[in-house]
Structure 1
Amino acid sequence: MTDYIVMFPADNEAERAAASEADRQATFDTDYEFGQLLAARGGAVTGGAGLTHSSRARTIKRGPRSNVLVTEGPYAESAEQLSGFFIVTCDEYDALVEAAQVLVRAHPVVEIRPVAEF
């Protein structure tokens, strides 16, 4: 089976923080439904996490002359922030894409990428 990461790059942190318990439950229910749809197509969610507090993020990058730079927050050039992800395994990419379509009910953007195998 091939591993993929299913990412949520456009969830609004302020909206998620202000969400009601019912709104949060609707997101959890949608995420659960995705897992069920994926399982019905022969795949599985094998990991994942919700990411919070992008304001507490730190960016570490190589600077001029190989100096290490640590800055507060994500890259300033980033218009979108990653709010969570699933790691999934599935033999059929099209089946994964089909199952993932349900996720846009709770996440404005869903991005799927294959995981490189080393």
Structure 2
Amino acid sequence: MTSRYVVLLPGDESSWEEASPEQRDTVYARHQEFADRLTAGGHSVVGGAELTHSREAKLVRADAAGKVVITDGPYAETAEQLTGYYEVETDDLDDLLQVVGILAGPDHGRTGMGGVEVRRVATAEGRES
């Protein structure tokens, strides 16, 4: 059965900003290899994007009275922030996880990228059980 998964890409944004053009090119080449392997494995990328720096984020909350309160983000005060994501449809989770390993390669940490999280997208059918 085909399911949809989100591949979440956390990273240390300051390390990414300090990365040389060559280091960034290496990371982008890894993402191209990831995309190529997904296609070859029969997986479908249905969405995704690189995100801007979290300093550009806006955090929206509602107070007890229902008034919308907007502050400058990010939501979480951590060294690693969400830097991008892919949304992938597949019927082979095991293979998808192996392909995601390309993004989590041993040199990925040098440019501030963290471990890669893969989560299944909830469906109406899944919420009924």
- Under a length normalisation based on structure 1, what TM-score does the superposition of the two structures give? 0.86
CA distance in 1, matches of 2:44, 2:14: 30
> Which residue is equivalent to 2:9?
8
- Residue 111 of structure 1 pairs with residue 112 of structure 2: no
Identity among equivalent pairs (%): 34
How far off its partner does 1:15 sit? 1.4
Alignment-mate amino acid for residue 21 of structure 2: E
Whichever residue aligns with residue 15 of structure 2, its letter is: E
Deviations 1:75-118 (CA, angstroms, capped at 9, x unpaired): 2x442311111111111111111110111123321011112335
Partner of 2:44: 44
List gaps (5 residues or longer) in structure 1. none
**Contact between 1:47 and 1:87, CA under 8 Å: does it hold in 2?**
yes
Unaligned runs of 5+ in 2: 125-129
Q: CA deviation at 1:13?
A: 1.1
User: Which segment drifts farther, 19-28 or 60-69?
Assistant: 60-69
The separation in 2 between residues aligned to 1:5 and 1:90, in whole angstroms, is 11
Task: Tell me the SS of whatever aligns to 1:14.
Answer: helix
Q: What is the TM-score when the length of structure 2 is the normalising length?
A: 0.80
| Residue-by-residue CA offset, 1:19-60 (whole Å, 9 max, x unaligned) | 111111111111111122222322022221111221121100
Counterparts of 1:95 and 1:16, CA distance in 2: 28
The equivalences for 1:1-118 within 5 A come to 1-9=2-10, 11-75=11-75, 77-79=76-78, 80-105=80-105, 106=108, 107-117=113-123
**Aligned partners of 2:45 and 2:89 also within 8 Å:** yes
Query: For the residues of structure 1 that align with 2:19 and 2:52, how far apart are their CA atoms?
Result: 13
